[in-house]
Amino acid sequence: MNKKLKIACVLFYILAGIAVAYGCIYIFIPTLLPYHQKYIEIPFKDLPPKVASLFLLIYRGVGTAMMALGFTLAMLVKGFFSKGSRWAWWTILIEMGTVLIPLTIIARSVGPYTPWWGVGILVLVMAYALWISWRETS
């Protein structure tokens, strides 16, 4: 494996780890994240029980999806992308692009106090890894 492909693999493994960690936070957090509470302007304890439960169920769904995204990315990189597979390159572009780009827009729309810039950095890392690996896949 050449240097550019190895760097891209490492970056994708980092992205996969971040997705899994993000998923774990959303699956196991017992309350709303501070920036969500600030957005809705109601403390979690003051929400009606069914509304609080709905928020946490949505968190669990997002967390599960992020964990699936992270594990899938890691398996694609380990199994095919690291061997220079072009279809794996396209699959990573589609998989990550359809999640991270809308997620950046959604996070930004929640307000300037959200960590939307963190997701934006992940998009840039993904784009860089895809860019440096294009010629290394066939």
Instruction: Spell out the per-residue pLDDT of the chain, length 138, in tens.
Output: 799 999 999 999 999 999 999 999 999 999 999 888 888 899 999 999 999 999 999 999 999 999 999 999 999 999 999 999 999 999 999 999 999 999 889 888 887 778 888 889 999 999 999 999 999 998
Task: Say if residue 86 is exposed, middle or buried (CB neighbours under 10 Å; 0-12, 13-18, 19+).
Answer: middle
Q: Structural domain tally of the chain? A: 1
CA distance 41 to 56: 17
- What is the extent of the structural domain holding 72? 3-136
